[in-house]
Structure 1
Amino acid sequence: MSHTAHIPSHRKPRRSATKVALRAGVAGGVLSTLAVAAAAGTANAAEPVTETIEMPTLTADLSAQIAHSADVTQQAADSYESRAEQDAAASKAAKQAKEDQAQAEKKAEAKRKAEAAAKKKAEQERASRSAERTNLTTQSGGGSSASSSDSVAPPASGSVGSVISFLKSQLGDAYVMGASGPNAWDCSSLVQAAFKQAGVDLPRVSQDQSTMGTEVGTSNLQVGDILYWGGKGSAYHVGVYIGNGQYLDAANPSKGVVIQDLSGYPASGAVRVL
């Protein structure tokens, strides 16, 4: 045994692997701590930058405000445009109404002139009929006729005279289909009313009136005979013979109750009820 074996060695003892690893781990932890701290420090140092990054949020709000302002502006523009369209439409309607009124006034003036002319013409025709009535009255009183049979005196009762007198009193009255007097007639209602003055009740329509009494030829007419146009039983018009080749009837809407000449409108047949 060496005599120095009991003397502790002055060499630095070797470090064991475990200690070396432990120390390395501690050193690594320290370094990690330092790295974390450094990162934290860096993060803290970057905080002002983070606050600057928040600016896009402010920019987005500003964009929203701008967009809202644009919407409001567009709405205002649309409102102005709509108002302008309404004003234009109102102006157009007012112009059209003015034109329509002018046209209506023009038509009304033309109508007034036409009515005045028609009234004047009617007065002239009435005056002419009055003259004809006076002439016919004179002729009837003298017993003039278109044929020898017209000279036959009316019945003693004077029934034919009352028929003719009634008919002449209606000269100038209007013709209205379906009317029955006292100022407007159609052909058959006038004949019916005239013969009622003589106590004779005739049917209302011309077809039936053409079948009454005794059939007589148009060449053998007598004052008071009923003239008809069309077939017997299907006549479309009637009048009354008043002598001198003339008859009195409610002719049509344009003529009214008038005296006409048989030569211009020959009858189809005639019947005698008195």
Structure 2
Amino acid sequence: MSHTAHIPSHRKPRRSASKLALRAGVAGGVLGTIAVAGAAGPANAEPVTETIEMPTLGSLDTAGLASAVAASAEASQQEALDQSLESQENAALQKAAKEAKKAKAEADRKAEAERAEKARAEAEAKAKAEQERLEAEARASRDRERTQLRTTSASDNSSSGSSASDSGSTGSSDSGSSTGSSNTETQAPSGTAAAIVAFARAQIGDAYVMGGTGPNSWDCSGLVQAAYASAGIDLPRISGDQSSRGTSVSLSNLQPGDVLYWGSRSGSYHVAIYVGGGKYVGAQNPSTGVVERSLDWDTPSGAVRIL
């Protein structure tokens, strides 16, 4: 052990650097003030004996500084809040403007759709009224034609007895020549055949519709079936079944009311009604509807006589 181990140290305790700097600053300020005063005073001036007490850091107004800092922070926070509110208001205004524009566009679209629908409904109503007017005129025309044909048929029936007696008094040469001629006569049909022909001709101008059975649209077999039904005769609905009825006749020996067919007799694909004078009436196709045509226009494959 050293011989100086029990000797107490006479060194003063160390001071912190901040305290030393503060003391040095205060002391320097005091000495500087004294020096300036000494230099400015007269030579025989008395030495300054008054002690000047320097302010310490503890005496500074920290409360006012803290209040100013707090006020500045509050002002900054209020400004930030005002900017946030203004931004939200601008966003809300932009959103409302977009929604209003969208609502206006939707209202304009609905109004335009309503105007278009109204115009379409008016056009359909006009077209329907015109169609009804044309159909009424067509029905009236067919009714007049039916009445005229029935009157002609009744007149022919009333004169059939006298015609028969007249035919008995004709010469043998006349009967021989008529037998050899083709039976595509131009005389009006009578009896049941007249009713069938009248009905068929009354439908001329009607539309062709597949599966149509009247009263204003037909297909080929639907027209033939309805024409025979008007004379009280039931026929099948299908053209192949209709052409299988009755007896087969030559195209050179046709009579009004005979059923013409195209294709084979048991498998025909089209039928029509022979109306005399080398012509027939049939529901041909969607482009022509019910028409009267010459046999030469579309020569049938054969014919059957059901009456």
TM-score of the pair, normalised by structure 1: 0.64
Partner SS for 1:238: strand
Select the residue among 207, 216, 223 that pairs with 2:249.
216
How far, CA to CA, are the matches of 1:98 and 1:241 in structure 2?
A: 58
Residue 106 in structure 1 maps to residue 138 in structure 2? no
Whether the aligned pair in 1 keeps the contact of 2:258 and 2:273 (CA below 8 Å) is: yes
Please report how far the alpha carbon of residue 82 of structure 1 lies from its aligned counterpart in structure 2 after TM superposition: 1.2
How far, CA to CA, are the matches of 1:232 and 1:105 in structure 2?
A: 53
Write out aligned runs for 1:185-224 (5 A).
185-195=218-228, 201-224=234-257
**Judging changes above 3 Å, is the alpha-carbon distance between structure 1 residues 261 and 180 closer, same or farther for their aligned structure 2 residues?**
closer
How far, CA to CA, are the matches of 1:107 and 1:185 in structure 2?
A: 29
Please report how far the alpha carbon of residue 225 of structure 1 lies from its aligned counterpart in structure 2 after TM superposition: 0.7
Aligned residue in 2 for 1:178: 211
How far, CA to CA, are the matches of 2:137 and 2:192 in structure 1?
A: 32
Name the aligned partner's letter for residue 93 of structure 1: E
Partner SS for 2:248: strand
CA offsets, 1:180-220, max 9 Å, x none? 45665432133234445667553321233233333333332
CA offsets, 1:208-252, max 9 Å, x none? 323333333333211121122455445333222232344344455
Whether the aligned pair in 2 keeps the contact of 1:152 and 1:222 (CA below 8 Å) is: no
How far, CA to CA, are the matches of 2:185 and 2:245 in structure 1?
A: 20
TM-score of the pair, normalised by structure 2: 0.58
CA offsets, 1:48-103, max 9 Å, x none? 34862675565455444433332222222111111111111222222222333333
Residue 94 in structure 1 maps to residue 136 in structure 2? no
How far, CA to CA, are the matches of 1:208 and 1:226 in structure 2?
A: 12
Partner SS for 1:219: helix
Whether the aligned pair in 2 keeps the contact of 1:207 and 1:232 (CA below 8 Å) is: yes
Whether the aligned pair in 1 keeps the contact of 2:273 and 2:280 (CA below 8 Å) is: yes
Aligned residue in 2 for 1:121: 134
Aligned residue in 1 for 2:294: 262
Partner SS for 2:275: strand
How far, CA to CA, are the matches of 1:154 and 1:119 in structure 2?
A: 32
* RMSD, matched Cα: 4.5
Please report how far the alpha carbon of residue 122 of structure 1 lies from its aligned counterpart in structure 2 after TM superposition: 3.2
Unaligned runs of 5+ in 2: 24-54, 158-180
CA offsets, 1:116-137, max 9 Å, x none? 4333433443444344434544
Partner SS for 1:99: helix
Aligned residue in 1 for 2:58: 44
Residue 77 in structure 1 maps to residue 90 in structure 2? yes
How many residue pairs end up in the alignment? 245
Whether the aligned pair in 2 keeps the contact of 1:192 and 1:202 (CA below 8 Å) is: yes
Aligned residue in 1 for 2:172: none
Name the aligned partner's letter for residue 246 of structure 2: G
Whether the aligned pair in 2 keeps the contact of 1:140 and 1:243 (CA below 8 Å) is: no
Unaligned runs of 5+ in 1: 1-16
How far, CA to CA, are the matches of 1:86 and 1:99 in structure 2?
A: 20
How far, CA to CA, are the matches of 2:147 and 2:208 in structure 1?
A: 22
Partner SS for 2:88: helix
How far, CA to CA, are the matches of 1:20 and 1:45 in structure 2?
A: 42
Residue 271 in structure 1 maps to residue 304 in structure 2? yes
Partner SS for 2:83: helix
Name the aligned partner's letter for residue 244 of structure 1: G
**Judging changes above 3 Å, is the alpha-carbon distance between structure 1 residues 58 and 234 closer, same or farther for their aligned structure 2 residues?**
farther
How far, CA to CA, are the matches of 1:272 and 1:49 in structure 2?
A: 132
Partner SS for 1:261: strand
